[in-house]
């Protein structure tokens, strides 16, 4: 038997090459998938809840506000700090040297509580001196993002953490400070404006 005939015999013993047939998706599968899709759309439509008016279009703030209140209704300042402040001021409160100022043993945090509240409400731009080091950056405003109770909680957290031992603040103080500077639109201009508040 020649090599060519051995090769031909071996090929005949092999299974034929597989091929892709034209098999349509079963109707049962199409009906189940369609039913699940219709159910999901109707479920979302029937259970839609609008964002409370106090948050405007900010769904994330509304969801976070619900999550931030504990069983007793007390807002967790540490949780708010982690969500809004830790990226710049770090988990230790020491900031980033030359970039973001520290909150630990900062005269702006441990000084008059009204100044700390104003900084969180309106933010800062321009040159700011902290512990003798000059920083030139920008801090965002939180007056439209956080409620009075939330600002009080985060300010109290930074005033009592990171080695700071200043007094806590309450929502009434934040409300009074918010009303006092309601017409102030821009962030505070660093040392130039904040020194007058000390």
- Give tens-digit pLDDT for 91-145: 998 988 888 899 988 898 888 889 889 999 988 988 988 888 888 888 888 888 8
- Is the model more confident about 22 or about 148? 148
For the whole model, what pTM was predicted? Answer: 0.63
Please name the helix (run of DSSP H) or strand (run of DSSP E) that holds residue 137, with its range, or none: strand 133-139
- Give tens-digit pLDDT for 37-86: 999 998 888 877 665 554 444 444 444 444 445 445 678 888 998 888 88
| Kind of pairing between the strands at 124-130 and 133-139 | antiparallel
Q: What angle do CA 112, 117, 120 make, to 5 degrees?
A: 135
3-state secondary structure of 188: strand
Q: Going from the N-terminus, what domains does the chain have, and what CATH number goes with each?
A: 56-197 (1.10.760.10)
């Amino acid at each position: 038997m020649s090599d060519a005939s051995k090769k031909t015999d071996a090929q005949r013993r092999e299974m034929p090459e597989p091929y892709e047939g034209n098999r349509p998706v079963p109707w049962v599968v199409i009906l189940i998938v369609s039913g699940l899709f219709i159910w999901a759309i109707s479920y979302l439509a029937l259970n839609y809840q609008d964002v409370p008016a106090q948050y405007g279009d900010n769904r994330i703030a509304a969801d976070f506000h619900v999550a931030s209140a504990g069983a007793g209704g007390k807002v967790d300042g540490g949780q708010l700090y982690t969500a809004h402040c830790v990226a710049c001021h770090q988990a230790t409160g020491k900031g980033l040297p030359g970039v973001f100022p520290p909150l630990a043993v900062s005269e702006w945090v441990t000084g008059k509580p009204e100044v700390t509240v104003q900084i969180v409400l309106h933010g800062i731009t321009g040159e700011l001196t902290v512990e003798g080091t000059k920083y030139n950056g920008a801090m965002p405003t939180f007056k439209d993002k956080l409620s009075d109770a939330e600002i009080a909680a985060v300010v109290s957290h930074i005033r009592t953490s990171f080695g700071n031992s200043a007094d806590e603040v309450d929502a009434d103080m934040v409300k009074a400070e918010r009303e006092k500077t309601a017409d102030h639109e821009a962030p505070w201009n660093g040392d130039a404006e904040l020194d007058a508040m000390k």
